[in-house]
Amino acid sequence: VHKYWLDRIAPEKGRADRSASTGNRNMGNLRTLYADYFRHLGFPEQKNPFADLSFADKSKRSRPPFPTDWIRDKIFAPGALATLNDEARGIVLAFAETGARPSELANLHTGVIHVDHEVPHISVEPRDDPDDPREIKTASSVRKIPLVGVALEVFKKHLNGFPRYKDREASLSALLNKHFKSYNLFPTDNHTVYSLRHSFEDRMKNGRLDEELRRMLMGHTIDRPKYGEGGDMKMWQEELMKIVLPFDPGIV
């Protein structure tokens, strides 16, 4: 299994089609499955063959962000995303204006999309359905993100989320990166679609949004949180409006 992922993450020839973080997530799933299985059988001390298997993610912050004017003038240009299907296009646009991971966006559903709320927002949270469970990456990743700009328009259109890509993050990533490359939407060869997440973070920094608020919206760990929920969401929305990108409604 490790060799399978290694060949996809760091092939001897050709370009990688999977990231180290994807490989690490899958190895982690196997590690958990193995441990839970033997714990269930009454052998909790069974040596886990997946315990020390991981991949170094050298690209994590070496992925450069998209310049803001590139997002506005290239990615948000009418026609730039037109050949993508509606759901894939919606995920790209929402990604740019929320910073939520594509895997988080792809697995949203009607119960966590709140466009009619006083502060329209999405809730990134585990799926508790026993027949269709889904865990969230870390506890800090469970969060609410106000919807502004193009992201709000996307979710008005996709009230049920993006069922086409539910639990299909890998195929979504491959499709989006292929589209961006084919239509020259990458400023450099070092960019990937995931660079939009870094762009959102940098836009918040440049907009002088509070560090804790930035970390909260990104789903990063916060040592001593001072912000609560509820009433503060209005403030989060107002802060995000400071960095909202202009867009042509026709691109949605």
pLDDT digits (tens, 9 = 90+) for 76-105: 999 999 999 999 999 999 999 999 999 999
SS3 234: helix
Band of residue 226 on the pLDDT scale cut at 50, 70, 90: low
The yes-or-no verdict on residue 229 having pLDDT over 60 is no
Are 175 and 193 within 8 A, CB to CB?
A: no
Q: 94 versus 215: which is more confidently predicted?
A: 94
Note the pLDDT of residue 150.
98
Residue with tokens 């927002």: 121
pLDDT average, residue stretch 139-165: 95
Are 233 and 121 within 8 A, CB to CB?
A: yes
Are 1 and 30 within 8 A, CB to CB?
A: yes
Report the alpha-carbon distance of residue 229 to residue 178 in Å, rounded: 38
Report the alpha-carbon distance of residue 246 to residue 204 in Å, rounded: 16
pLDDT average, residue stretch 41-63: 71
The yes-or-no verdict on residue 228 having pLDDT over 90 is no
> CA 152 from chain center: how many Å?
16
**DSSP secondary-structure letter at 107?**
T
pTM of the model: 0.74
Beta carbons within 8 Å of 148's beta carbon, 6+ residues apart: 97, 237, 240, 241, 244
Tell me the CATH number of domain 68-251, given options 1.10.443, 2.40.128, 3.10.129, 3.30.1490: 1.10.443
Sorted by where each begins, the domain ranges of the chain are: 1-60, 68-251
Report the alpha-carbon distance of residue 232 to residue 229 in Å, rounded: 6
Report the alpha-carbon distance of residue 194 to residue 218 in Å, rounded: 13
**DSSP secondary-structure letter at 84?**
S
b/e per residue 8-28 (b: at least 16 CB within 10 A): ebeeeeeeeebbbbbbbebbe
Report the alpha-carbon distance of residue 241 to residue 88 in Å, rounded: 24
Burial of 157 (0-12, 13-18, 19+ CB in 10 A): middle
SS3 172: helix
The yes-or-no verdict on residue 73 having pLDDT over 70 is yes
